[in-house]
Amino acid sequence: MKQDSNFVYNWQIGGLFGKETGKWNFNGNSLILNSDFHRIKDATPNFYLLDKKINNSSKIEFQLYFSDSTALIGANGLMFYDTDTIFKSISDANGLMTFPKQEYDSIKISFIGLKDIVISDSPNDYFKIVSVDFPVDNMYEYFENEVWKIRGKHLIDNSKNEYYYEKRFYKIE
């Protein structure tokens, strides 16, 4: 926090790091944060479906890639039926994720830093998918009239109920 009412907020989510800048002001015992940039409503699709087909196999296969064509390793997949999770899967070193061929409502594939991929019930049993990356800048942490409480030397982020200690996590310049 700088004396000219600017702030720099360093964030980390998983292995991704970033920095958010903005303006701050006080309102009683509250600190109000507003970022310089705000998330823009994104009309980008979650993924590109490059291929889908019926292989008549005993399993449903997803071949997953990042936008740069490298295998999407370690993505988590959940198969749902009637709001219950009926199967879980993780993509392997080749980006291959498999599910048993059975009735399902949807399959959701998640990976840190990427939009979720959701496939509704389909007769196809093979899908080749390229995920669409989020732009990393200003995407994970931004503030729009965000209220943090001040208690002594602590800042409390109400949205996460987390404490930030003066000497370890924030400093006033």
CA–CA dist 91, 75 (Å, integer):
5
- The first and second tokens of residue 103, run together, are 């009735």
Assigned token pair, 121: 């019930």
Rounded Cα distance, 115 and 92, in Å: 19
**Closest alpha carbon to 118 in 129, 128, 105, 109:** 109
- Using an 8 Å Cβ cutoff, are 153 and 170 in contact? no
Nearest to 127 by CA among 60, 172, 173: 60
User: Going from the N-terminus, what domains does the chain have, and what CATH number goes with each?
Assistant: 6-37+137-169 (no CATH), 47-131 (2.60.40.1120)
Q: Is the pLDDT of residue 28 over 70?
A: yes
Report whether 157 contacts 11 (CB < 8 A): no
For residue range 84-126, list pLDDT tens digits in order: 999 999 999 999 999 999 999 999 998 877 778 888 888 899 9
DSSP 8-state class, residue 93: T
Task: Please tell me the predicted confidence (pLDDT) of residue 39.
Answer: 61
pTM of the model: 0.54
Reported confidence tier of residue 138, pLDDT bands at 50, 70, 90: very low
Please check whether residue 78 is in contact with residue 85, taking contact to mean a CB–CB distance below 8 angstroms.
yes
Spatial separation of the C-alpha atoms in residues 164 and 9, rounded to whole Å: 12
Identity of the highest mean pLDDT range in 20-34, 37-51, 144-158: 20-34
What confidence tens digit (pLDDT) does each residue in 34-68 have? 888 766 555 556 678 888 999 888 999 999 998 88
